[in-house]
Structure 1
Amino acid sequence: MRKLEGFPYKKVLVLGLAKSGTAVSQLLHRQGIDVVVNDLKAQDDNPSVHLLRSLEIKVIIGDHPLDLLDDIDVIIKNPGIPYENPLLEVAQSKKIPILTEIELLHYLHVNDLIGITGSNGKTTTTTLISEMLKESSIPSRIAGNIGHVASEVAENLAENETMVVELSSFQLMGIEYFKPKVAVLLNIFEAHLDYHKTLENYKYAKANLFSNQTEEEYLVYNADDEQVNEMIKKANAKLVPFSRKSKLPNGAYADDTYIYYNNTKVMKIDDIALVGSHNLENILAAVATAKLYNVSNEAIKNVLQTFVGVAHRLQFVANKEDRLFYNDSKATNILATTKALQAFQKPIILLAGGLDRGNSFDGLKPYMSNVKGMVVFGETASKLIDLGKEIGLENIEKVNNMEEAVKCAFQLSSPNEVVLLSPACASWDQYATFEERGNMFMNSVHKL
């Protein structure tokens, strides 16, 4: 077990249970740090509350008493808790540091770490990089937003293992010294503005991924993305670009036929199993990263010839009477849905809707030429109905839940068409997670 070395805080308030809060509370307790846990919504019968109290960790639930701040040195908060939380606002006025659990990776001395962020494609790219390392017999562990809590994995990481970590803007807001050996910045699109308030705040959070890097580290970045190109001007790391639009003197790029790295052919594009032009960007990012670890072309080919995607991300579900059903529940913003729409040439019945974050859906308009009908649900249903009417769709149906949506979409569709769940919204108005939403979709498809 790795030890927290140089951790300057003696008493920690962990704010928010969930998976990360529960894990980090146990980690700190094992490392001999004095921990108190506070969660607003948890009940006494919550298994995490029982577990932590059985370890004699103090757990306060039901409210956020401000006197908790009287004798603590630092807050480690659940990434999803906004900084406008009253307890956090008082903590900021008292200049109490507010971190997320990934900062602990610095004190656990995880030096061989690949960190992946971006508005879309994080999970696919993280998985591809991990698979390429494994195919090349490089020991690695996957963590972060995908898989296990990052600090929990880091505590038990072997010296010869590489950590491959998917990181959200919420996590990256709460760092001081954390830095990866290889940072991967995929793309930037206006997202999570209900949390970050402005695009500049969002970009600032994402840029934290490489803000502490030096010339000894690497930054793999999307040379096709204007926002990314602006952000990386402040980077100190060695720059490794990727592009699906331009030939590059170094880094990874694609033409109509091949993928290249440093102007050397890696493999034919036709041999890649994963569909969608947006996934080509994810693939190029993974190739560029893998090459920094000297992964062979053969290992890269073996992965890309067989990898067909991860759950809830343009995941093929079933063929029902010649209708092809795809689960893209991870599409929690407009950019992700535009990428999904571009992946298909066939007519599409689009299932969309969810949490209303105040945005319009005008950004979908240029990509809806193949959309034959829409089935909408959730808080944004009326906005999506307006969108459908504006582009002249005749088949627009509003439903209450996913089972109704699937049945309705099947009725609207014809053979040789695609039924695509790509909501363009977070799930939290009706479902706890996008995974729960996607599973409901798949279960409903299988019931047809």
Structure 2
Amino acid sequence: MSPNRQSSIVNRKSRIVILGAGESGVGTALLAKKKKFDVFVSDFGKIKDKYKQVLINNEIEWEEEGHSEEKILRADVVMKSPGIPDKAPIVRKLKENGIKIISEIEFASKYTKATIVGITGSNGKTTTASLTFEILKVGGLNVALGGNIGESFAELVSEAKYENFVLELSSFQLDGIESFSPHIAILTNLSPDHLDRYDYKYENYIASKFRVVMNQTSEDYFIYDADDEEIMKWLSENPIKSQLLPFSLKQELSRGAFKKNNEIVINIDNNKFSMPIPEIAIQGDHNVKNAMAATTVATLLKIRKQTIRQSLEGFPGVEHRLEKVLKINNVQYINDSKATNVNATFYALGSMQNPTIWIVGGVDKGNDYSELLPLVNEKVKAIICLGVDNQKIVEAFGNIVDTILETDSMAMAVKAAYKLAEKNNSVLLSPACASFDLFENYEDRGRQFKEAVRKL
């Protein structure tokens, strides 16, 4: 197949090969089957039973624990699951053969006319997506939440019952788009993350995030953090077509969202909304920004001000993000397993009010821990490493924290924290790393932490 042939997705008899049989892969398989594609699913690892059952029940051909090259290279189009890197041998082979490779987001967007809110960023995207979805749902819109969170976008599209989607989008998902364009795009912030997938070049990762706006028109909106230097630099060098709606804690804006007199103020075309910051359920400057972004979306989509206010007052936050688990002997245990990069942990440590025992570590993605040094010096009394290779953490903080322990299981880490903790301390799991060395994913890591705390 010529790599420039654009009709392959539209042609209903096309053969689609799906690499990876997780949430996005199986969701894509279901939608593709519904759209009369010849579907083949191939996973290099073992397929989870729940996904295998879906494939069997829907009579979709699949394989696991290896890729059959001959079957895969007969594809007209390939949907690559976001976790598979471009340097994987099968992906290289597909590129050599000029076979189109897209993401689930690209594929599914062809089959819906719904209004799409696409949310990306290094941190805060899950909270912003969850809060946006909550406000829109309470506001009476027919809306679903998907993408990098919750259900697969493709599976939701296959159900053909939603008029609006709120999608959390990772850089990996955006790497595989060609024509996907959300009506409203949000970029929460930028900080170095996943650099191992971007040749250790921050500019490659930034460019990947900005793909969220590349197909937008003057009818669309781009909501972004005007306090983020990297975002502002990129925008100054790369003009975009969409209408700009910034948010800021530092400056008053004529159009967008800003902080004034300890209130958030949203001003879009003389449609104003304001709310005292102390009344917002999720606290901290980063969460004020998340609330600003979500409220801007709700204002654009004409949700009633009273509904927005009630949603902001009642939103409990998301699991694994600064989630208070239990207080034992006056020690607060906090699950921030979703902090898979240094910037997320920066926010977490910054919010700590008491001397903190910090559980950190996992798969390092090219982390630079230097920005954490002042916070660690001020707030952290002991570090418990939780990873296969902790050398970088020990080297970074060994001179400023007296106690650094190495553990290789969550139960061991939590027990060590319990022994070190004194009255009015906090124990914070905020790994600043990916989880794949000891855990299935960050959710598994967070749940194991909560389970270990409850067993104390």
One-letter code of the match for 1:301? R
Shift of 1:215: 0.4
Map of 1:188 onto structure 2: 190
Shift of 1:199: 1.7
Deviates more, 1:170-179 or 1:48-57: 48-57
Distance 2:424 2:137 in 1: 37
Partners of 2:34 and 2:158 within 8 A in 1: no
Map of 2:307 onto structure 1: 299
One-letter code of the match for 2:120? T
Partners of 2:147 and 2:168 within 8 A in 1: yes
Partners of 1:110 and 1:154 within 8 A in 2: no
Following superposition of structure 1 onto structure 2, how do residues 3-402 of structure 1 map, counting pairs within 5 Å? 7-8=10-11, 10-42=14-46, 46=49, 48-49=51-52, 51-53=54-56, 55-158=58-161, 161-197=163-199, 198-232=201-235, 233-262=238-267, 264=272, 266-368=274-376, 369-390=378-399, 392-402=400-410
Shift of 1:417: 1.8
**CA 1:305 to 1:53, structure 2 compared with 1: closer, same or farther past 3 Å?**
closer
One-letter code of the match for 2:230? Q
One-letter code of the match for 1:177? S
One-letter code of the match for 2:255? N
Shift of 1:133: 1.2
Partners of 2:354 and 2:379 within 8 A in 1: yes
Shift of 1:397: 1.6
What do the CA deviations read for 1:117-162 (whole angstroms, capped 9, x no partner)?
A: 0000111000111111123222211111111001111222436x31
What do the CA deviations read for 1:17-70 (whole angstroms, capped 9, x no partner)?
A: 112112211221122101122111126x95534542454433233333332354
One-letter code of the match for 2:397? G
Distance 2:416 2:167 in 1: 39
Map of 1:404 onto structure 2: 412
Runs of 4+ with >4 A deviation: none
Mark the runs of 5 or more structure 1 residues left unpaired by the alignment.
none
Partners of 1:348 and 1:417 within 8 A in 2: yes
Partners of 1:395 and 1:412 within 8 A in 2: no
From 427, 430, 434, give the equivalent of 1:422: 430
Partners of 1:111 and 1:180 within 8 A in 2: no
One-letter code of the match for 1:285? A
Partners of 1:275 and 1:308 within 8 A in 2: no
Mark the runs of 5 or more structure 2 residues left unpaired by the alignment.
1-6
SS in 1 for 2:203: helix
Seq. identity, %:
37
SS in 2 for 1:71: coil
One-letter code of the match for 1:244? L
What do the CA deviations read for 1:266-307 (whole angstroms, capped 9, x no partner)?
A: 111111221222111111111111111122332222112222
Distance 2:356 2:373 in 1: 14
What do the CA deviations read for 1:233-255 (whole angstroms, capped 9, x no partner)?
A: 43211111111121111111113
Distance 1:355 1:167 in 2: 21
Distance 1:283 1:418 in 2: 26
One-letter code of the match for 1:28? A
What do the CA deviations read for 1:369-411 (whole angstroms, capped 9, x no partner)?
A: 1111111110342222222223x21122222211121121122
Distance 2:333 2:395 in 1: 25
RMSD of aligned Cα (Å):
2.0
Distance 2:157 2:57 in 1: 24
Distance 1:78 1:26 in 2: 14
**CA 1:11 to 1:319, structure 2 compared with 1: closer, same or farther past 3 Å?**
same
Q: TM-score, normalised by structure 1?
A: 0.94
From 420, 431, 443, give the equivalent of 1:435: 443
**CA 1:131 to 1:62, structure 2 compared with 1: closer, same or farther past 3 Å?**
closer
Partners of 1:196 and 1:202 within 8 A in 2: yes
One-letter code of the match for 1:127? S
Distance 1:176 1:275 in 2: 37
Distance 1:57 1:151 in 2: 16
SS in 1 for 2:314: coil
Map of 2:4 onto structure 1: none
Q: TM-score, normalised by structure 2?
A: 0.92
Deviates more, 1:242-251 or 1:17-26: 17-26
Distance 1:176 1:406 in 2: 45
One-letter code of the match for 2:440? A
Shift of 1:308: 2.7
Map of 2:3 onto structure 1: none
SS in 2 for 1:325: strand
Deviates more, 1:301-310 or 1:177-186: 301-310
**CA 1:395 to 1:430, structure 2 compared with 1: closer, same or farther past 3 Å?**
same
